[in-house]
Structure 1
């Protein structure tokens, strides 16, 4: 487990640094708020979540997958699915589960209260990809554990998925400029920054689109895909109509946002 933690922290740091440098060298969109202020509070929320989660759940995803494997629980174990197929199907089905979870957090008002902390960021860059309220992280983990138990997804598949999900979230939230040609090719398979930026538009119909985090196929298959923001990437407003003041980007304000309507 210590090696897994080291790998996850290393990948997180590496992707964060690469995207941060890329954003400086080739930004897609001009930021509206001081970066140091946003980064301090967004990353503060990340560290808070990383501290709280292990103390509030007896099992996290990989550890729970070992428990499922040792007890031969779930569909894949009952069907005696080969290791390689468990890995491939596990990755695909977990990514689809995250898509539907994300969609539910937009459609159910109580869950949207939690998820709007993520959308209240008035700029979008690499740190937005990890800006989630602790209760949303906790519920997301419970949904993930339920999928692992029902399907019998292997610990290897869960570990690889966790690393990919974290890295892809930082990538597709980053404020980097990609050429139209490269973006068009990439988004046939994976969620690109331009594709996901639409999801952070202030227009609610655009906010309720492009839910995918890693693979882009789910939005196309399930009818939630919007190609481009109607206001254009450079001029589009990011965020939600609620919590527009600069002080709402502080750590304490973010924590309390699900419980306020002002």
Structure 2
């Protein structure tokens, strides 16, 4: 089963990625939440270019990714769930929930530590907010994130199936909650009970720092409630709020080369 999962993991992940990306992209065209001042053709090449670089870098540095770490832990009896011999369903469900909590805490860490913020601010410097913002991360952030994920997966002894499920859900949720799509407000309120919605996460991309430091969740909204980082709406409203970071407001910053260099540049 391990070899089959190792072989199928990239196929499943890439298939899910492209499927969700196409659906969100089409939905944005059919029912956009905000009118965008900067056209897709100016933003998407850089954002998608980062995604390609990140995918290649991860496959070169971590060929088996987090699923491989889970298979290794299982084969050697490493990690909490392996040691206590937790029932399969329990281990899968708890692993997905704990990994989501770790992503929330990691996200807060990337905002709190200046050196990590220099990497993460590439994600926040997008001047618009749509499905490609969800894949706009600096390669060094992606590498650091994978190292953390592998460490947690090994410590948990998370089942490989749980790790794959988590990765697919995280990628899908990230593209969904960054999408420029319009949801009816009653539906948005209901959905926020179990998943981070675009209106909820959009607040996090505000140019106002107090709003940037809120709504850290990617998949599950519960952690923002528990740790009191939840903010219902942006102060200026969703239509008028300004996205991005004050320093990097020149449209030229949307170029791939400029994004790769942003971490070494000052915000002053």
TM-score by length of 1: 0.98
Q: Give 1:155-194 correspondences, 5 Å limit.
A: 155-194=160-199
TM-score by length of 2: 0.96
**Corresponding position: 1:195 with 2:225:** no
Aligned mate of 1:29, from 34, 44, 57: 34
**Corresponding position: 1:242 with 2:247:** yes
DSSP-derived class of the 1:242 partner: helix
Note the C-alpha offset of 1:59. 4.6
Give per-residue Cα distances to partners, 1:63-86, cap 9 Å, x unaligned.
Answer: 111001100101111111011111
Note the C-alpha offset of 1:196. 0.1
Between 1:141-150 and 1:56-65, the stretch displaced more is: 56-65
Q: Give 1:39-78 correspondences, 5 Å limit.
A: 39-57=44-62, 59-78=64-83
Note the C-alpha offset of 1:58. 6.0
- 1: CA distance, partners of 2:68 / 2:155: 15
- 2: CA distance, partners of 1:157 / 1:128: 26
Partner of 1:4: 9
Partner of 1:154: 159
- 1: CA distance, partners of 2:147 / 2:234: 33
**Corresponding position: 1:142 with 2:127:** no
Partner of 2:3: none
Note the C-alpha offset of 1:57. 3.4
- 1: CA distance, partners of 2:244 / 2:91: 38
**Corresponding position: 1:83 with 2:88:** yes
- 1: CA distance, partners of 2:14 / 2:57: 16
Q: Across the two proteins, how many residue pairs are aligned to each other? A: 262
Q: Unpaired runs of 5+ in structure 2?
A: 1-5
CA RMSD, Structure 1 to Structure 2 (Å): 0.9
- 1: CA distance, partners of 2:68 / 2:197: 30
Give per-residue Cα distances to partners, 1:40-74, cap 9 Å, x unaligned.
Answer: 11111100111112222365100111001100101
Q: Unpaired runs of 5+ in structure 1?
A: none
DSSP-derived class of the 2:236 partner: coil
- 1: CA distance, partners of 2:105 / 2:76: 28
